Structure 1
């Protein structure tokens, strides 16, 4: 695979107290990427305004989305997006879904299926997948929304009531963290029937015992070795048309090195 890396150190979509650490995390990953195939999307310094949208920092999120789309139009090969918060997937997935039929595998401790009306935090990171499905703040919903039948949730284990209700009503398949295996995930992806897959990995899907550098850790996640096996099996069986790795928020720049080996192994599995 010929891969281009699009680094988006966005923090404005996060509701975590460690939101600013996402900038450090993105920068730490960027330091280990090939310079010739890496582009950094400029992030505004200001937090941004909600502008009555119900989404905190809405104006900055729009600006980053537009800048990221411009970069994605220009980079060659398969784009691997490096966040930043999960909001960076808005541009990455909508850009790809407008051009081809893709399924999305959502590896995440949280399903990110709130709307501005149901969210208790106003943080966009908890709304991004619902927005991609066509329900969200005007100005963020993509022109070509994802189809519900093209989404697979893996490892999600912290649901708000509105998210739980939506998953049930929309019949979105979910593989719990404790049941996730390479065979099960690959079979479920093939059953979605898309031509290719986009792999979203919020690093909080990993069990906190294996990975420390996230802002919203949730117990009982997928072991790191299992996640690596699943991603490797997906890459061997289906076309990976794009991927995103998000939510790396090390407690300090010095502690980033503790978790970088896992991230780099995931990148290698995605780009084999």
Structure 2
């Protein structure tokens, strides 16, 4: 989509696209810290899923990513630039795109095209370049046919794609998405996840915040927040297969839950009979092979 995203992977080995180093955060007047001692690094070309129960600190962490909130202790850096550096705050924010749960919060234009162009106009991007970038992102997100449509007439899925277009047209190197599928139907949610997964494949560093373990399985890495602290970092599959999900009261991906239920209907127990299927393809393979041998 953009030259910046394509080039971003070149320095991934040396400097993380986004890093948290010993980060604490407490809201003013609140004795309990919302984020505690977080160390986390995201690299270009990588998608990290951040999961946790309500109140675990996920949305606070999202707002720390680009300086909307500043850490009480520790450092948040974008490509090595601290978000606390007031002289470079605009640079930091231009590198980080935030997509929130409710797209209405981010839509400001009267029509689809006007909304996508809004950020570029504020940056003073030359008109010819602005039109090229708007056309490109409208095409990529399937919004060309509704470019002149008033935003108030859009469906939920169209609004979420429009909000994403308004973020991506600015060509951020880091994309932070905060539970973007919670208001969408299952099909639209899958389409959005596939689209964002593709952006990571082209060089963006993506932080996908969710409570959905099925979405977490699409990520390269998983980070789990529990009461503001990182309780796990590593492989999504290892987390769900290793018993950590149960310890933290997080459910398993749907294919794993369905496989367990199917086994129970046959009077079987899964423990000790191989790994649970964590994805739909793995579940389908299991169903084709049959459950009868898992006693």
> TM-score under structure 1 normalisation?
0.36
| Structure of greater Rg | 2
> TM-score under structure 2 normalisation?
0.34
